[in-house]
């Protein structure tokens, strides 16, 4: 048993008999109330659910409001759960009202500890209880990884440097999913932009379209030519993801290849030497004739990253 306070109004006494005062009174209630309410909810749903007690507060001298969290490992509609729990109003005299709500939405998300191959994402919500979240990692439209967690943060590893990733976090319960909240993060990297002119092939209109089969075929062919003539040391760096070439576009003149050389930020080797080795590999191609006077890096080094404790962008999806 425990004591619960409540307020009421009473005559203040004295000759001003119409004057009333607010007073605080106390009543004794039973601890079994909590257990009874949880059993009632579990029985009403008639399914394999977990019911968690959150809080209780008095709303009347002889009534109290109890907040519960319903969890399960399968999908139920918010409408069905509400309908089932509303039957308690007819079957149990002590139940005077029932309300069911979806999981609270996420209010903010941000990144931290961004490196060339990893980062952490944190988020916050108004939910004070244990909450389940679905986290989805995407690169462009491709889903890289998806998982469920009860924490309010995740650490993502084994990523590629200089790549823009999107992490969406969705609060979940067995009744419904909340509104996804996303944060975009670009892993740390050093980059050099470069161009190369191939003189033995002709530019066609479909090379403007990055989704066309011609664009994909030429991109793959150029990457294979560069890789084949690399030294074993450079091949190892490419295979490990420490060095990467991203072809950005093609333009006329026979075909001009516009690409970016991406280096992991912790790279100890000289970046200029490595970029020269990559360009020479393309010049040594047996498949393509390369105009050496039109093949070069632009000389500008760029650092692309989201620094620690900084988010590139937050976006809430409705």
| Span 273-316, pLDDT tens digits | 888 999 999 999 999 999 999 998 875 555 544 433 334 444 44
- CATH 3.30.70.960, the chain: domain bounds: 189-304
The tens digit of pLDDT for each residue in 141-151 reads 899 999 989 89
The tens digit of pLDDT for each residue in 119-138 reads 999 999 877 666 788 999 99
Find out whether 17 and 11 touch, Cβ atoms under 8 Å: yes
The tens digit of pLDDT for each residue in 209-265 reads 999 999 999 999 999 999 998 999 999 989 988 899 999 999 998 999 999 999 888
What dihedral do alpha carbons 237, 139, 123, 188 form, nearest 10°? 30
Sorted by sequence, the CB contacts under 8 Å of residue 26 that are 6+ apart come out as 3, 4, 5, 6
CATH number (3.30.70.960, 3.30.565.10, 3.40.710.10, 3.90.550.60) of 189-304 reads 3.30.70.960
Beta strand pairing status for 255-263 and 142-149?
Answer: unpaired
pLDDT band at 21 (very low <50, low <70, confident <90, very high): confident
pLDDT score recorded for residue 7: 62
Supply the mean pLDDT for the chain.
Answer: 81
CATH architecture of 106-188+307-316: Sandwich (2.60)
Give strand pairing partners of 262. Answer: 191, 244
- Is 85 a residue whose pLDDT tops 50? yes
Find out whether 82 and 88 touch, Cβ atoms under 8 Å: no
Q: Which tokens go with 103?
A: 């999981």
Helices and strands (DSSP H and E) totals, the chain: 6, 16
- Is 186 a residue whose pLDDT tops 90? yes
pLDDT score recorded for residue 30: 47
- CATH 2.60.40.10, the chain: domain bounds: 106-188+307-316
């Amino acid at each position: 048993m425990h004591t619960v306070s409540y307020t009421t109004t009473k005559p203040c006494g004295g000759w001003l008999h119409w004057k009333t005062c607010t007073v605080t009174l106390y009543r004794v209630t039973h601890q079994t109330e909590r257990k009874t309410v949880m059993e009632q909810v579990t029985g009403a749903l008639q399914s394999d659910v977990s019911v968690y007690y959150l809080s209780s507060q008095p709303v009347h001298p002889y009534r109290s409001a109890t907040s519960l969290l319903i969890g399960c490992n399968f999908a139920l509609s918010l409408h069905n759960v509400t309908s089932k729990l509303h039957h308690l109003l007819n079957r149990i005299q002590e139940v005077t009202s029932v309300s069911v709500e979806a999981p609270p939405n996420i209010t903010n998300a941000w990144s931290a500890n961004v490196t060339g191959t990893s980062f952490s994402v944190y988020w916050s919500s108004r939910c004070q209880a244990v909450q389940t979240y679905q986290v989805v990692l995407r690169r462009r439209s491709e889903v890289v990884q998806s998982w469920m967690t009860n924490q309010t943060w995740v650490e993502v590893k084994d990523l590629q440097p200089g790549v823009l990733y999107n992490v969406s976090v969705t609060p979940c319960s067995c009744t419904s999913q909340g509104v996804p909240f996303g944060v975009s993060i670009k892993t740390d990297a050093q980059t050099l932009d470069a161009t190369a002119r191939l003189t033995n092939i002709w530019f066609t209109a479909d090379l403007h379209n990055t989704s066309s089969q011609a664009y994909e075929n030429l991109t793959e062919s150029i990457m294979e030519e560069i890789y084949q003539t690399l030294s074993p040391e450079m091949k190892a760096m490419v295979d490990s993801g420490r060095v990467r070439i991203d072809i950005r576009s093609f333009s006329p003149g026979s075909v001009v290849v516009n690409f970016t050389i991406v280096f992991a930020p912790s790279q100890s080797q000289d970046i200029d030497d490595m970029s020269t080795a990559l360009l020479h590999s393309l010049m040594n191609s047996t498949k393509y004739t390369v105009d050496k006077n039109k093949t070069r890096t632009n000389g500008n080094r760029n650092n692309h990253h989201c620094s620690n404790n900084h988010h590139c962008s937050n976006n809430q999806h409705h």
